[in-house]
Amino acid sequence: MENDVGVRLRLTPTYTCRMTDLHQAARRCLDATDPAQKVRLTREAWNALLAGELQPDPASPPPEPIGAPGRPERPLLVHASKVPSRGLGTSEGRAALVHAVAHIEFNAINLAWDAVYRFRGKPEAYYRDWASCAHDEARHFDMLSGRLAELGHAYGDFDAHNGLWEMAEKTAHHDTARMALVPRVLEARGLDVTPGIIERLRGAGDERTIAILEVILREEVAHVAAGTRWFRHCCERDGLEPRQAFLDLLRDYMGRVPRGPFNRAARLEAGFDAEEMDRLAELALTD
């Protein structure tokens, strides 16, 4: 508790953090460097929100400029091209895969809490959605950490890249872009690739990892759906047509549409519509 209080005082020296302030609770989760502590604080914040003990406080200090979230010294962060690709035929290769997914989930905890901390004046349902996502991601990370231990490894044993958080930094000033590009592009990519990974693991006989990935795949649909819901909310607020706005943001921030193939069924369940999916598939072929 002493360390936690010290962090709060350092971050907001002119403001006594009320433990009822959801924004500051989100910041506390963001700043935690130890993965186990981040998971614990996330669970506590979610339970407090469910109990009605946390709510967005209009008196909360405005968000700090975005920087690196709290994270351990390892894994070493390298360019995505420097992360080695390993086959799934060995225990080491499967551990590297589990580590890669765990790193995504660790980043996703921070992404969800940053959406709570950074963007103010939103409906209560917005904050509940992203706090719920943070709680899910923390549980996913916990499951994957346990599986890593079974494979003789721990989070931090393999190099990783920082692509998810780099997009958070690019969109920190723009809630519409954040809702479009983090959940609906980067996280939606998991919907596309996870079924194929599960099939490869099935060939390797790794039912333990498959069971975890199936939970994550099922629950990530709801996370992408939250992104879709709040992206369209932002578009309605700003008088934008959502399909065209999405394509414009893809071009502006990424220079292209995502590569296919797409998991059409999962994306439709996550709020993409058929016309949008047809257009994405068409552009993915021509870009």
pLDDT in the model for residue 286: 66
Give the mean model confidence (pLDDT) for residues 273-286.
Answer: 90
Whether residue 6 lies inside any domain: the answer is no
CATH of the domain at 229: 1.20.1260.10
Whether residue 60 lies inside any domain: the answer is no
Q: Does residue 10 have a pLDDT over 50?
A: no
Which residues have CB under 8 Å from 112's CB, separation 6+? 130, 131, 133, 134, 137, 223
Whether residue 5 lies inside any domain: the answer is no
> Residue 241: which domain range?
86-286
Question: Could you identify the residue written with the tokens 């333990």?
Answer: 208
Whether residue 261 lies inside any domain: the answer is yes
Q: Using pLDDT thresholds of 50, 70 and 90, give the confidence band for residue 46.
A: very high
Neighbours of 69 (CB within 10 A): 21
Whether residue 56 lies inside any domain: the answer is no
- Within the chain, how many helices (H) and strands (E) appear? 12, 0
Whether residue 9 lies inside any domain: the answer is no
Q: Does residue 181 have a pLDDT over 80?
A: yes
Q: Which residues are bridge partners to 19 per DSSP?
A: none
133-137, 149-153, 256-260: which range is least confident on average?
256-260
Give tens-digit pLDDT for 139-164.
999 999 999 999 999 999 999 999 89
Distances in whole angstroms, Cα of residue 108 to Cα of each of 76, 163, 165: 18, 11, 9
Please say whether the beta carbons of 133 and 223 come within 8 A: yes
**Element spanning 204, H or E:** helix 188-204
Q: Please state, rounded to an integer, the average pLDDT across all residues of the chain.
A: 91
**Total number of domains constituting the chain:** 1
Whether residue 31 lies inside any domain: the answer is no
Whether residue 11 lies inside any domain: the answer is no
Give tens-digit pLDDT for 98-116.
999 999 999 999 999 999 9
